[in-house]
Structure 1
Amino acid sequence: MTRASKPPVVSCPICGAAVKWLADNRWKPFCSERCKLIDLGQWATGKYRVPVEPKQDEDETPDQSGRPQ
């Protein structure tokens, strides 16, 4: 006989409410559609950003100052 394990519980990234991590929880990791849309809006307005370093062309070699020649 095996015991059913309890599903992991995470905090909603927007409001902090406890969220059970279940396959049928359609809003995970959020607690509701409202929190999901708030998060989407924060991405859309630029509040969240993924840092990116500018890519340097392979043909250009930087001089001492770090600028391409």
Structure 2
Amino acid sequence: MKVKCPTCRKWTEWQNNPYRPFCSERCKLIDLGTWASGEYILEGEEISEESRNGGQNG
């Protein structure tokens, strides 16, 4: 089965591909860097300060 790499859009084999869904280590690392730089985000509810502190005040 062939799929398109989400980074470069090149067609790549799915089976026996150690970088899937990417076509190469390069595309995999580009995607990781995009997440790490904050360009990709997952929307959700804001976390309250109380929740961040484990429910403890002060």
Normalised by the length of structure 2, the TM-score is 0.74
Q: Where do 1:45-64 residues align within 5 Å?
A: 45-54=37-46
- 1:12-56 deviation line (CA, Å, top 9, x unaligned): 00101101110x210111010000000000000000111011257
- List gaps (5 residues or longer) in structure 1: 1-7, 58-69
* Partner secondary structure for residue 12 of structure 2: strand
Structure 2 unmatched runs, 5+:
51-58
Number of equivalences: 49
Confirm or deny that 1:18 pairs with 2:36: no
Asked which structure has the greater CA Rg, the reply is 1
Structure ranking higher in helix proportion: 2
Runs of 4+ in 1 over 4 A off after TM superposition: none
Question: Among the aligned pairs, what percent are the same residue?
Answer: 49
TM-score by length of 1: 0.63
